[in-house]
Structure 1
Amino acid sequence: MRVLVVAIAGLGLASVLASWPAPVRSADPVAASYPAAVFRGGNQGWGLIVDTSAKAVRYDLVVPQLAGVAYGGLIPDPKIKPQPDRYALIGRINVNGQLRELVVRINKVASGKTCLDSAGKKHAYAVIAGAAQTANWYGCGDFAAQ
């Protein structure tokens, strides 16, 4: 049953992310307008918190490939044109002593749909986080005041 839930969540996430726009260079990226101060997301085995309340967006990331919590700053990805309910962020992450690019994509699911995490919990947003040459982590999440 758990495999079925994960498979369904994966298919839902794939359909949401298939609608992600192709990269476009933006000379002057516009600051994103976030629905709430904090995004909490992830899935079985990993988790991400993005604090958008300060001018410099911050992240905390826990993934199997790292010991402890990775943290740092995120900026809007200048290659992606800003769109409502779609957040394209980039930053740096230290993986075994090597700095790598961290890419975070948060996308609101289509109206009437939900993103199901591996526990079967419904969320309004799909999230992908990836570190170059390390891994990509797929999941769901929500924005909240705290």
Structure 2
Amino acid sequence: MKPDEESPGNTMPPADPLNEARLSAVQEELSVGVRKTETGAVRVRKVVHEEMQPVSLRLRSEQVEVRRVALNRPVEERREPRREGDTLIIPVYEYVPVVTMQLMLKEEVYVTTTETARDVMHQVLMNSEELIVERREGPHGEWKRDPDAG
């Protein structure tokens, strides 16, 4: 064994209090947090534009003419109303006293329907909508239109 190696029988003398050294252990701690900071903002507005636009319309109207045609002739039986072209013919009957009872066609009512159409222009209020997207830099910056948003 070498003379500088320790052996169980060879103990080191106690340290001299004057030669004693002290060490301090220091530990640093890091704290990480999140803080919100406004760096800008975006706002979207909708603008409604109203404009009078001409609109072409087709107006239809019907006129009904009623004409009575007196017939006053005897008939054997009743007939149902009938159509002849645009005209609806409605028979009107009455019983009249004669030596014998006889059914007489008193009159027919002719109802003719005609239709007319005309083109007219009316002014109609039309709405269209537009979205405006604006951005600002920082919490107090000036609002500017966003060129990428439409």
What interval of TM-score do these two structures reach, taking the shorter chain for normalisation?
under 0.3
TM-score when normalising by structure 2: 0.19
TM-score when normalising by structure 1: 0.19
Which structure shows the higher strand fraction? Answer: 2
**Higher RCO, 1 or 2 (CA under 8 Å, sep at least 6)?**
2
